[in-house]
Amino acid sequence: MARAIASEDASLLDSLGSIVDRENENLLPFGDFGIVALRDLYLKEIGAVRAGRDPKGVIRDEARNQLIVIPAWELNLTEAELAERNVARRPEHSPMPALEQGRYVEVDGIRTFYVHAGDGHPVLLIHGAAPGACSRVNWKLNIDPLAAARLSVYAFDQPGFGHTANPDDYSLEYRVAHARAFADSLGLERFHLVGNSVGAYIAARLGLEDPRVGRLVLVSSSVLAPKGSADANAMATSHSEELREFTPSRDRVRAMTMKTLFKTELVSEELVQERFAMSSGPRFEAQLKRRDAPPPRPIVDQLRDLRTKTLILWGSNDRGAAVERALLLFKLIPNAELHVFDRCGHWVQWDQADRFNRLVADFLT
């Protein structure tokens, strides 16, 4: 049974399993309040309880260990209350940006979350597997620009990530099957794929096995590429072990993200909070179970059989995927082109967002 917050312990927010915003059938994980502003809102609710007022905007579901944030336009808040909370009343019929929208579809019995934006040729964005990975975080700077380039963009959360339910099978093999089933559920006859890190492995598998795939964009994937030298192996192993031993806290998320990105000025408190929320609770449980899952099936020997045109994007400052592996991958795949960016880490789509969006849009349209 959900009840209004009555706790005076502000540290409760740190231990919550998840934060949920709702608007009818859409899930708004970070909503109008924003995950950073949510802490301030939470403290205001405590103040309201102390003052004997009924708190508005947030309820706590103790059974699910969640805060549920009610969108401001569902409340009868006065303009003064809205101003105090630093949110605006949503005008009737005003469109929400794609990143505020979310949808669900049943895929192989799993409630699967995705974001859709734009009209045109369909393209699926497939995130990686690091703690906190999900469609809203990994592709935040790319969904709307690619949609503006006349692509129909679908960014989905894999099983055990983001807002998609945890599966029974935590193997990467199952996530490949789920990605294929996700395309089936949308009724897509042809589609392009963009995959980052482990997501690039999933994209390449579909490129090899699914005749509906048009073009591939593969971004920074040590899992997919040939192993290369001892130095490249040591770099990848060290990075994998560090991620494997991750336990969620804001400080650890901040440190991890500082290594993910080259441009440390992009590591905002909002990004840290978002990634922390998406690495906690059920997502952390899924991370622990993935540790015991079988390793991915190597497909290096099959990459020469790829018949799709392929764009490979890599950061020269990636701390886990050596540029050497990008070159080896490029040599393996026919009809491929490779772009390596200086001053760029593992998330090319963040460190070089403008260039990434232009290159991908030009390649896919």
34-43, 71-80, 176-185 — which one is most confidently predicted on average? 176-185
- Predicted confidence at residue 256, as pLDDT, reads 97
pLDDT at 9 over 80: no
116 is catalytic: no
Instruction: Give the number of other Cβ atoms within 10 Å of residue 354's Cβ.
Output: 9
pLDDT at 50 over 60: no
Choice among 178, 192, 239, 346 that is catalytic = 346
Q: pLDDT band for position 80 (50/70/90)?
A: low
- Predicted confidence at residue 331, as pLDDT, reads 96
Extents of the domains making up the chain: 2-85, 98-364
Six token digits for residue 159: 């099983």
Q: What is the mean pLDDT of residues 49-67?
A: 49
Task: Give CA–CA dist 153/121, Å, rounded.
Answer: 8
The top-level CATH class assigned to 98-364 is alpha beta
Q: Choose among 338, 325, 354, 323: nearest CA to 217.
A: 338
Tell me: the pLDDT tens digits for 17-41?
A: 344 433 322 333 333 334 444 444 5
Tell me: the pLDDT tens digits for 214-271?
A: 999 999 999 999 999 999 999 999 999 999 999 999 999 999 999 999 999 999 999 9
| Inter-residue contact 182 to 130 (CB < 8 Å) | no
The distance in angstroms from the start CA to the end CA of the chain is 50
Tell me: the pLDDT tens digits for 114-138?
A: 999 999 999 999 999 999 999 999 9
Task: Give CA–CA dist 228/220, Å, rounded.
Answer: 15
pLDDT at 321 over 80: yes
Percent of the chain with pLDDT over 70: 72
Residue 315 CB contacts under 8 Å (≥ 6 apart), including other chains: 220, 262, 340, 341, 344, 345, 346, 347, 348, 351, 352
Q: Choose among 220, 198, 194, 199: nearest CA to 317.
A: 220
Choice among 21, 32, 144, 318 that is catalytic = 318
Choice among 18, 197, 220, 280 that is catalytic = 197
Q: What is the mean pLDDT of residues 79-100?
A: 48
Bridge partners, 69 (sequence order): 21, 58
DSSP-derived letter for residue 278 is: T
292 is catalytic: no
| Inter-residue contact 82 to 76 (CB < 8 Å) | no
- Predicted confidence at residue 360, as pLDDT, reads 98
Six token digits for residue 22: 């709702």
Residue type, 90: R
Q: pLDDT band for position 102 (50/70/90)?
A: confident
Six token digits for residue 330: 């490029």
Q: What is the mean pLDDT of residues 314-333?
A: 96
Which is higher by pLDDT, 55 or 337?
Answer: 337
Task: Give CA–CA dist 42/226, Å, rounded.
Answer: 48
Q: pLDDT band for position 5 (50/70/90)?
A: very low
Instruction: Give the number of other Cβ atoms within 10 Å of residue 273's Cβ.
Output: 22
249 is catalytic: no
Six token digits for residue 132: 């906190």
For the chain, how big is the Rg over CA atoms in Å? 21
Residue type, 174: Y
Task: Give CA–CA dist 208/145, Å, rounded.
Answer: 28
Task: Give CA–CA dist 178/38, Å, rounded.
Answer: 33
**Range with lowest mean pLDDT among 67-71, 183-187, 297-301:** 67-71
| Inter-residue contact 234 to 220 (CB < 8 Å) | no
